[in-house]
Structures are given as structure tokens and as C-alpha cells.
Amino acid sequence: MTKRKFAVLTRVKNAEVHEGQVPKVGDNQVLIKQETCNICTTDFGQWLGLREHQPYPMAGGHEGSGVIVEKGKNVRNELSIGDHVAVAYDYCGECSACQVGRTSECTEVLNPFKDQNKEGYYGHLGFATYDVKDANAVIKMNPKLPFNEAGFLEPLATVVGGLRRLRITAMERVVVIGAGTMGVLNALTAKAYGADVIVTEMMDKKIEAARAMGLNVIDVKEHDPVERVKELTDGEGADAIILAVGNTKANDQALEMVKNLNGKLLLFAAGYPAPKLNVDSNLVHYRKMELIGTYGADILDFNISASLLNEGRVNVSKLVETNILLEDIQKAYEIASTQGSYRVSVLLR
């Protein structure tokens, strides 16, 4: 276990497999034999050239899971060799942000999108056969859960974080715009929380998939989504809208779908180029509207995400598009970036 292989983006539409040293395990760290890592929007966005603010060489991937094969002497007893785990964001636990639970805003850890590791790579090295992680960011997963499903820990945690900010309660009427991976995750989680959920989508494949997962989907090719939402909410509009796509048209629709007073809009998805939000401050003022931003996840969100996955309250099995070997990483990116695809899981064995 002295050598490892990992996927690297060296330029637009070029993914390679490199080889390097397995880092030594520190007293507060564990060595994980990584089994799978799913390609997320951030990953294939850079592969497509849509995120050129991110540097190269990018050894990305952060939706991985695997097995602990070595642990440092100070690692808590809860983590044992052989445990199935997935990984949260690193955090120090001591800075002012960490002290109040905002671990995603930790100021003391390296930023993998700005800081290079000792080998000169950027990124989380999720697409690596082995990696060393700080034990405080490692979360046990149900060993009965397939590795590629355990890899949804991070994206689901971002959903949990957003829903916490949105303050979703049972029986609220929630519209999710977009039935891609993150839209479906938002919808499934809001439904698990007891909300009455409606999804809007235009792609047949995504409509079929979302309906197969038990979601109420409006086909926007057949219905005006704003009018249909109003019909389904007795003319009142939704209590909350989750924007799981980043574009101006979706933003405009959200402003029309939300109820007249005390409505909430969660801007979950980023868009490149940046979409516009055509709303004036008077509208927000008089309608007592909330525009809520969300990004990333805190350690609380990761723990809630793990519970949802481990207990089967959010079932992500239908969100895995296909499995591709690490050696075929270029093909994996091609499939992941195809419009309408769900998660592509890279097999690291």
C-alpha cells in the first residue's frame, strides 16, 4: 500500500490516471481503501471547461466511500479497521466558525480548490485508490449499503444543510425545480421530512426516473409549471421553492410559483454563466419573501445525511447511472457530462 492511482484533470476534456505515494497515516488520521467515487456536477463541469476558475492539475472527486485499513493511535474507538466509511469536509474544530457548528466555513484547513498538496495536485483526491483522511471528518456507513450509494453522503449533506436553512416542516408544500440528481435528492429528502413535494422537469428521462421514485412530477412540456403549481396548491402557490437548476428562467418561474406572503426561495444550484434573479427589493419587502442561499454542508448535516442513508429513509439506488473502472475515467466523464445523466460511479478497486 505504498503506491496509489488517482484520476486527474490536466486540461479541458482530458482526464488521466496518475500514480503517486500513499501518504503516511498521522496519529489522528485513518487510511481508507477507497472503493468508489461518484462524479458530481463540479467535477464534470470543470472537465467540460465551465469552471475554469478551478486550477489544474485537479485530482478531484469528493463523493467517495471505502474501508478503513489503518488508523492512527489517537483515533476514536468508534472507528475501527474494516469499517465502511464516507468522508465529510475537513475542519479544525477550534476556529470561531467550528466552535458554533459552521464547520464548512472553517478558516484553518487547506482549501483543495486553491491549495496544492505536496505532490502538486489540487482537489480532494476522491478518485484515488487509497487516501488518508482526518478521523474527525470520517463517518461510518451501513456495511449493507453499496459503496456507490454511501458515496451520496456529501451531496445529500448539502441538501440537508439547505433544508435546515429553509426550515422545512411537515405538510408544507414544496416545489423543486429540476429533476437532476440534486433536484431528486432535495425532493426525496423534503418528502422524508413530511413535506408535500412537487417536482417540475422537461426531460423525459428525468421525468420517468423521478416518477419511478414516487415523486409527483409536472412535465413542463405538457403544462405551464406556474399554472399547474397554482392548481395543485388551491391557487395559493407553494410555501417554498427549491431551485435545483441554475438558470434565469427557473428563477423567474420560482418567483411566480411561490405563495404571495411569507414564501421562501432556496437558491440551491449555481449556474455558469451566472443566472439573473429578476426581483426588486420592494417585492421582497411587501411580500415578506425570503431569498435563501445555501452552499456546502456542516458536520451536523453530514451526520443527518448518514442517518438518512444508513436507515434507508432516502433511497438513492436509482440515482446511479452506471459504474465505470478508474482506468476508463475519460469515458466516465463523457457519460457523466451527457445531458440527462445521473451519477456515474468510478470503481477504484
Question: What are the Cα distances from residue 215, in Å, to 105, 106, 187, 241?
Answer: 33, 36, 8, 15
Per-residue model confidence (pLDDT) at position 273: 86
pLDDT digits (tens, 9 = 90+) for 280-316: 999 999 999 999 999 999 999 999 999 999 999 999 9
Residue type, 101: G
State the average pLDDT over residues 53-79: 96
Confidence (pTM)? 0.95
Do 163 and 117 contact (CB within 8 A), yes or no?
no
State the average pLDDT over residues 11-20: 97
The CA distance from 5 to 26, in Å, is 21
3-152+316-347 and 159-293 in the same fold: no
pLDDT band at 216 (very low <50, low <70, confident <90, very high): very high
Nearest to 140, CA basis, from 65, 34, 62 = 65
Could you tell me the residue ranges of all domains in the chain? 3-152+316-347, 159-293
Sign of the Cα pseudo-torsion (19, 111, 113, 316, in order): positive
77: number of Cβ within 10 Å: 6
pLDDT band at 11 (very low <50, low <70, confident <90, very high): very high
pLDDT band at 52 (very low <50, low <70, confident <90, very high): confident
pLDDT band at 55 (very low <50, low <70, confident <90, very high): very high
State the average pLDDT over residues 62-83: 97
* Mean pLDDT of the residues in the chain: 96
Q: Tell me how far the alpha carbon of residue 216 is from its chain's centroid.
A: 22
Its CATH architecture, for the domain 159-293, is: 3-Layer(aba) Sandwich (3.40)
Question: What are the Cα distances from residue 154, in Å, to 37, 62, 107, 250, 302?
Answer: 11, 7, 20, 25, 7
Q: Is the pLDDT of residue 113 over 90?
A: no
- CATH 3.40.50.1010 correct for 3-152+316-347: no
323 backbone dihedrals φ, ψ, rounded to 5°: -115, 135
